[in-house]
Amino acid sequence: MYGNDGGYGQGQDDLRRLMLEVRAKLQQHRGLIVKVLLALVPLILMATAYYQVEPDEVAVVTRFGKIVRTTNPGPHLRLPLGIERVNKVPIQRQLKQEFGFRTQGDGTGEFRKDERTVAEAAMLTGDLNVATVEWIVQYKISDPEKYLFKVRDVENTFRLMTEAVMRRVVGDRSVTELLTVGREAIATRAKDLLSEMCKLYETGIVVEQLVLQDVDPPEPVRASFNEVNQAIQERERSINEAWAEYNQQIPRARGLAEQRLQGAEGYAVDRVNRARGDAHRFLALYEEYRKAPEVTRTRIYLETLTEVLPKAGKKIILDENAKGLVPLLNLGGLGKEGTP
């Protein structure tokens, strides 16, 4: 190794000499080393025995792989040196998985797509068309023990279950339903099936919401499909406008007709009641006239004079039995205004 046997032997001597020096120093500081180790043992025990559970978590404690207890948020102790292990599960936190896209983790809210996300989003519909479906599943962990120990790699298993359920539901619908009016029904159906599968496989997960984010036809036919969709929307808009006009005009015409019918009926009732009232009044007057014809005749005469005399102008009325009034009567001023 050193080019000759003498150099090799010298290297061994140097190594032996170094080991002897190290051993001598260890012997010299043995007490200090023992004290340091004894001081480190409590620190190690405390560091491996203490653990903290966050407010949105619970901790499942296992001893040699067997579940022994579940602890709530706060500081806790366990058997140290790996005898008891702690598995923290965020049961209060709402988790989500994205399909067909990924949100960037830098907080900008931008989306990222790659070959994997494109493959997730491509789906075959029931009428043998292809659609690009992007969706989100929001869920919570309801049973920490099942979540940790019933299913191996539960997150990836849940992801595969979600994709399988969505492909099944989309495969039962037409592309028109998927792209237009059937989106809510598809999301609801997929959520129900996924919840049933989570219960069946005991994943410890409860599905809270499944939302279709974006549904589009494949890129090569997207322009043509958008034109067809636009034509359908124009047709629906025209139909809705026609119904709106119908709902506006027909009730108005019915209201006017009803108003005229009620007006005619009211006019008829008014005329009949007036005629009956006039007839009853005439009969009542006639009955009273029959009882006292002279009184009625005098009343009619006086009423007639009351109406006629104001229209005759100035008048001089003399009693036919009066005598000697002519010489005293001033007749010269009858033609002047204001003279009696």
Pair of tokens at residue 129: 């068309």
Of residues 334 and 221, more confidence is placed in 221
Q: pLDDT tens digits, residue range 62-72? A: 999 899 999 99
Pair of tokens at residue 43: 């620190």
Of residues 43 and 195, more confidence is placed in 195
CA dist 93 to 107, 137, 138, Å? 19, 14, 10
Q: pLDDT tens digits, residue range 205-232? A: 999 999 999 888 877 777 887 787 788 8
158 SS3 class: helix
Category of 109 on φ-ψ map: left (φ > 0), alpha (ψ -120 to 50) or beta:
left
Q: Which domains does the chain have, with CATH numbers?
A: 5-87 (no CATH), 95-217 (3.30.479.30)
Residue 126 in this model has a pLDDT that exceeds 80:
yes
Distance separating alpha carbons of residues 335 and 318, to the nearest angstrom: 18
Between helices 293-308 and 222-291, what is the axis angle to 10°?
A: 120
